[in-house]
Amino acid sequence: MAAGTQVGTHQSAVLALHYQNDVLHPHGKIRVGFHADSAQRQHVIAAAQALLSKARACAIPVVHVRIAYRPDYADLLTNAPIFRQVASLGAVCEGSWGAGFHADLAPLQDSPREFIVKHTRVNAFHDSPLEGILRILATRRLIVAGVATHSVVESTVRHAVDMGYEVVVNADACAAGSPGAHAASLENMRLIAEVCDGPASLWRLDAGAS
């Protein structure tokens, strides 16, 4: 799991963004991806499980990205409404159940091809070890999925494209608080990335396997 672990050269890597209890679980505190009683939740979890399973079968690295803060939120810069909301909700505190990964989508702790990245902003690359890990893996193509579509997913995709990565978005494994926000974000990303349903993005993993 360490950033310095050499696992070989891969064209592709999967970025699994914010599959955490406070974001994904019905008892979680953050609602940017789902309402508590959302019927879409199990569909997204199943799509994300399929993506992770396919990546593992193809020996493609998976980077699990989580957001978490100190319990006193001293490391939280509250310059935007979304960050102020995190603090007001008492969400994703380091060491809490809410900051942990959803049980159905947790990293394989003993796999040299799975990595965990913690960050504290919207974009998963900002002030995190993500870029360094992808360089070690010699990654050129990213298959991105997570919650919420219009937040961490779109922000990370835009940054990745500016860095020169080829990006595929697995739409089925993403969600936003409203269908409209989800659809609008996917439409925005079509200008810079390939937006696919689950089966199509899984095929990209076969194409990128080394």
Poorest-pLDDT segment among 37-46, 108-117, 123-132: 37-46
Q: Judge whether 6 lies within some domain.
A: no
Range of the domain at 69: 12-208
Look at residue 39 in the predicted model and tell me its pLDDT.
79
- The identity of residue 124, as a single letter, is A
Q: Judge whether 4 lies within some domain.
A: no
Q: Judge whether 174 lies within some domain.
A: yes
Residue 28: CA atoms inside 13 Å, Cβ hemisphere, count?
Answer: 28
Q: Judge whether 85 lies within some domain.
A: yes
Look at residue 73 in the predicted model and tell me its pLDDT.
98
Asked if the model's pLDDT at residue 9 lies above 70, the reply is no
Q: Judge whether 127 lies within some domain.
A: yes
Q: Judge whether 3 lies within some domain.
A: no
The model's pTM: 0.91
Q: How many domains does one find in the chain?
A: 1
Look at residue 209 in the predicted model and tell me its pLDDT.
55
Q: Rounded to whole angstroms, how far apart are CA atoms 160 and 192? A: 10
Q: In this structure, what CATH number is given to the domain that contains residue 55?
A: 3.40.50.850
Q: Rounded to whole angstroms, how far apart are CA atoms 205 and 46? A: 17
Q: Judge whether 32 lies within some domain.
A: yes
Q: Judge whether 128 lies within some domain.
A: yes
Q: What pLDDT digit, counting tens, does each position of 39-77 carry?
A: 789 999 999 999 999 999 999 999 999 999 999 999 999
By CB atoms closer than 10 A (0-12, 13-18, 19+), residue 130 is: buried
